[in-house]
Structure 1
């Protein structure tokens, strides 16, 4: 029998994702590969020159697979570079919010997720192109949750306490948005607290926003949250329960153009992007190749 190909893995590690030290992840990766015929190289993200340094390392090291070690923000960053380099991407869920990893059925432990990175199957998933400049892997939204992301990024507290403080600020400042949603098939006008562009089902916290979401079905959903009581906010942001379906509308789409009457908070995959009045989004079917467990339903 021919010898199995020896693969080169490049791990892009966010050392502070989730507010936790990643030195045990680094040593665990190196220890795991001591027993493998494959080789591993570690790149530690510093948040300063990563956009320049990571492509240089990809060019010089010529990996067969690029692996994100961190949360949803890290995964989004690494995915853009995997697309540019035409590489399949692996995921080690090491963040505070691991929504995409949960969505894809990737195990939460280091050893099990490494097994998927090395021995899993390569499958294509959809992305949402945003304004022709970047991609959404998971969930983007306008309104209250994006406002919460902004407050959390600005705050000095992390973990549940910082999250709860952000929720309180959002509660005190929540305002209805006047929006126009054009899916190409229909144009609707609504008053809403949030509008979500959903490629997946749930946020990293576990809050289900789009029960029928599928990252590989060739479409996404525009979720319009029209009514939001204090109880509903508490259930979503604290207990991570689904919204009452009577208070939301879901529009399946392959493209959408959204206009807001006034500037609104906007985030993509957990990264705040400022205040906007207009968004164009379009599905990119099967654009990203991801390493997944063999029994995944994706």
Structure 2
């Protein structure tokens, strides 16, 4: 039987990643305990010290939440939040987020503060609302999924993080390096319910985060708000053109680029053309997984019940205003 809707006094089952991007990783547990103690609310902590532990720890937290009628909380970056959401989806449990990563796109698009104490107040006092989940071959993505050059840049970024630390500047420098090294285009067939086509592209990017779409200047943010996903393909271009596109994205002007093809959908099937590799690396919210073709990208049948502030997030309002001003 599915759990009842989360009560205001429901216990919090907190999965926290001690290897996420923030330097205050050891502060999460004590802060959660202190905040819950102040309002007389029970909590249990489920620490993750190595990435490989996350699926099992998240499963344990979800099972405990089902047993006690609790809320499963993910504390970490977008990758950690993704891993916990994978376990929560379909369980009936409410879901909370304490963002501790570098980009925190999922939290920011839903108005959840990046400061720990402020995020705890949201978690303790706001209601759960349904939010859209994307899936590729059954694997959850809350922010984006991709193959090709974008996925390769994420793989390269991990090496840079280990050498130079986690920051947006390191991520940008790593992306530039990936482009300058060169790339091979993918030869794909793409199928929507009403049409199909062949494409040659360096990367396929599927977005499920309206804020990210708004910040790079693509119009599919509205499609995500209305229950669809955003597909983005690049036409075959050289390295310097790719760098120019990277700069356009940084200034929120990708919609003006002729080299960018973008479309909205609820389900998309992608396969390799004859002779192509049958397995491919797919990035979901920054985590890489090898998947067997074809790939099916779709909106999940059931949403997550996310505890978040009501209304449009302030950062979303600012991004929309900037887009309208530049139109």
CA shift digits 1:169-211 (9 cap, x unpaired): 332122322222111111122222221122223549x645554
Matched, 1:296 2:312: yes
Q: 2:217, 2:255 within 8 Å by CA — same for their partners in 1?
A: no
Query: Offset at 1:60?
Result: 4.4
Q: Which region of structure 1 is more displaced relative to structure 2, 214-223 or 26-35?
A: 214-223
Mark the CA change 1:118 to 1:274 in structure 2 (over 3 Å): closer, same or farther: same
Q: CA RMSD in A?
A: 2.8
Superposition map of 1:88-167 within 5 A: 88-131=94-137, 133-155=138-160, 156-157=162-163, 158-159=165-166, 160-161=169-170, 163-167=172-176
Q: Which region of structure 1 is more displaced relative to structure 2, 228-237 or 138-147?
A: 228-237
Q: Secondary structure at the match of 1:97?
A: coil
- 2:171, 2:299 → 1: CA distance? 34
Matched, 1:243 2:254: yes
Matched, 1:66 2:72: yes
Query: Offset at 1:58?
Result: 4.1
Structure 1 segments, 4+ long, off by >4 Å, are 206-211, 213-216
Mark the CA change 1:203 to 1:273 in structure 2 (over 3 Å): closer, same or farther: farther
Matched, 1:260 2:272: yes
Mark the CA change 1:72 to 1:242 in structure 2 (over 3 Å): closer, same or farther: farther
Query: Offset at 1:106?
Result: 1.2
Structure with the larger strand share: 1
Structure 1 residue aligned with 2:189: 180
Aligned match of 1:82 in 79, 88, 91?
Answer: 88
Mark the CA change 1:56 to 1:100 in structure 2 (over 3 Å): closer, same or farther: closer
Q: Secondary structure at the match of 2:210?
A: coil
Query: Offset at 1:153?
Result: 2.5
- 1:5, 1:87 → 2: CA distance? 14
Aligned match of 2:180 in 167, 171, 174?
Answer: 171
- 2:96, 2:15 → 1: CA distance? 10
Query: Offset at 1:258?
Result: 0.9
Structure 1 residue aligned with 2:324: none
CA shift digits 1:10-57 (9 cap, x unpaired): 111011111534112222222222211211211111234343344334
Instruction: Report the count of equivalent residues.
Output: 293
List gaps (5 residues or longer) in structure 1. none
Query: Offset at 1:9?
Result: 0.5
Mark the CA change 1:36 to 1:236 in structure 2 (over 3 Å): closer, same or farther: farther
Structure 1 residue aligned with 2:323: none
Structure 1 residue aligned with 2:4: none
Query: Offset at 1:241?
Result: 3.8
Aligned match of 1:43 in 38, 43, 46?
Answer: 46
Q: Which region of structure 1 is more displaced relative to structure 2, 193-202 or 133-142?
A: 193-202
Q: Secondary structure at the match of 1:25?
A: helix
- 2:170, 2:291 → 1: CA distance? 25
